[in-house]
Chain A
Amino acid sequence: MAEKADDKKPILSKKIDKFFTGLANAWIFFKRFFQEVFFPPYEFKEVINQCYRIGVESLPLISLTGFIVGIVFTNQSRPSLTEFGAASWLPSLISIAVVRAMGPLVTALIAAGKVGSSIGAEIGSMKVTEQIDAMEVSATNPFKFLVVSRVLATTFMIPLLVMYTDFVALMGSFLSVNKNEMVSLSTFFVQVFESITFLDITSSVFKSILFGFTIGIVGCYKGYNSSKGTEGVGKAANSAVVISMFLIFIEELLVLQIVNAIRSA
């Protein structure tokens, strides 16, 4: 039997109260993560297990998507560049687009859908079937085992997946460029690396870490606080994806502003 917040008299209105209560609970959850992550016992085995699930098991989907994005973006950009006689700039254009924005964004959105929903649903179903309570009453820390391990795993693995997506997208782009412009692999990659800067790479890694953390913490929060049986589990999975995606776009926008400010300084 769960305590019903709805039963209390609302201060403003039910919806506004619920929104602010949700924000406060999310903040408490976020704070608890940082309170737990640095102190033993550490769940190394579970972190590695989750890294495998989040990283390795996402590879087929990420590979396919990255490859297609590389080819499609190259083919879509070619006519415009050819019009200006700048088709030789394709490798530079693609590398900047992929490393700066598309790689992190595409990977994060796919991971939010695949990993975020799975975390939300898994923890949510553990919550409604009292598995989390069972961990708690056996004097173990479910937060550390379920939440800390998953958030660490997404934070570690999303940057690696982003680098992999960048590589696969560039390979897709190379195939298209090689077929149409007869550019060799070495020439293609020389142009790619000449175009991207250290700031591009660091901002991409920073963004990926942020995206990974967001996907993990939102998925866990939604799952950990799910209620109302199987309906709640579905809602947890769904809102984990929606909120993660929303936050990813906001973060992308904020990081872009910061990077542009650094670049122009």
Chain B
Amino acid sequence: MEETVVEIRGLKKAFGDLEVLQGVDLDLFKGENLVVLGKSGSGKSVLIKIMVGLLRQDEGSMKIFGQEVSTLNKKELNALRLKIGFSFQASALYDSMTVRENMEFPLVRNVKNLTKAEITKKIEGLLDSVGLPQSINQMPSELSGGQKKRIGIARTLILNPEIMLYDEPTAGLDPITCMEINNLIVQVREQFNTSSIVITHDLTCAKVTGDRMAVLLDGQFKAIGTFDEVFARAKDERVKSFYDYNFIES
């Protein structure tokens, strides 16, 4: 039986009168890449922000490694956050710090007694993994959009997370860079043995990176399954149209 690392049940979240999540259920299994698809403003990002405690649900349950996120105190939440890597849509690199300092920032504050040599080795190793070893002393303003994404992913990997959350990893990138990021997401899963949730509305990204898809429409998951299960046998017209409006290379 597959081990569940994230278990979401009846999750509801509203902003004023707008109910973005209307009682969603979802499971993330160990080692899988789950893609959450949906149009802009459908609540995809809200879902993963609730996972890391940046937002709090109105109702329902969000369990990660069996722990209910909303009931954790600050210390417990931080302990849980160490197991989760969050790659932000706009990379969220600290723009007053170099790439090295960006990567050192979470490491030195969470892992004690590391020597300078160990820190450098770890940073260089991760920059190698994302294909940007030469960027170590650059400022974020000197990097392209794709490079920022890669560094952002490397920074989240520095704490050896067990779950990776990618918020729109290919948004605003050219098709070639998108493909590189998609391949990196797959590589991260294989190399670091992570379970991932990828939030996107890019079907190419979904097809390349995802083992399973979950389509979020009107605050609920309208279809969950493999890419073919979701789109080939789609009954919901909006799920079908989601596919029709995207060009997928075979």
Contact = CB atoms under 8 A, between A and B. Distances in A.
Nearest to B46: A1
Interface in A129-153: 129-131, 133-140
Interface stretch (B105-113, B120-128, B217-225): B105-113
B45 A1 contact: yes
Interface in B54-109: 54, 78-79, 81-82, 84, 86, 88-90, 92-96, 105-106, 109
Nearest to B78: A139
A137 B81 contact: yes
Nearest to A41: B109
A8 interface: yes
A138 B110 contact: yes
Given A122-B96, A139-B81, A134 B15 contact: no
B52 A3 contact: no
B114 to A, nearest CB: 15
A125 B141 CA distance: 14
A36 B41 CA distance: 35
Contacts of B89: 130
A1 B52 contact: no
Contacts of B78: 139
B17 interface: yes
Nearest to A130: B92
A7 interface: yes
Contact of B93 (A4, A7, A122, A131): A131
Contacts of A134: 86, 88, 92-94
B82 A139 contact: yes
Of the candidates A1, A4, A126, the one having the most CB atoms from chain B within 10 angstroms of its own CB is A1
Contact of A133 (B15, B54, B105, B159): B54
B156 A138 contact: yes
Contacts of A138: 81, 86, 105-106, 109-110, 155-156, 159
B46 A140 contact: no
B52 A137 contact: yes
Interface string B149-165: 00000011001000000
Contacts of B105: 135, 138, 140
- Give the 5 A-B CB pairs with smallest separation, nearest first: A7-B16, A138-B106, A134-B92, A139-B78, A130-B92
29 contacts: A7-B15, A7-B17, A41-B109, A125-B95, A126-B94, A126-B95, A129-B92, A130-B88, A130-B92, A131-B95, A133-B49, A133-B92, A134-B86, A134-B92, A134-B93, A134-B94, A135-B105, A136-B54, A137-B52, A137-B84, A137-B86, A138-B81, A138-B105, A138-B109, A138-B110, A138-B156, A139-B79, A139-B81, A139-B82
Given A1-B41, A136-B81, A139-B110, 6 more contacts: A122-B96, A126-B94, A129-B90, A130-B92, A138-B159, A140-B105
Interface of B: 15-17, 20, 41, 45-46, 49, 52, 54, 78-79, 81-82, 84, 86, 88-90, 92-96, 105-106, 109-110, 155-156, 159
Interface of A: 1-4, 6-8, 41, 122, 125-126, 129-131, 133-140
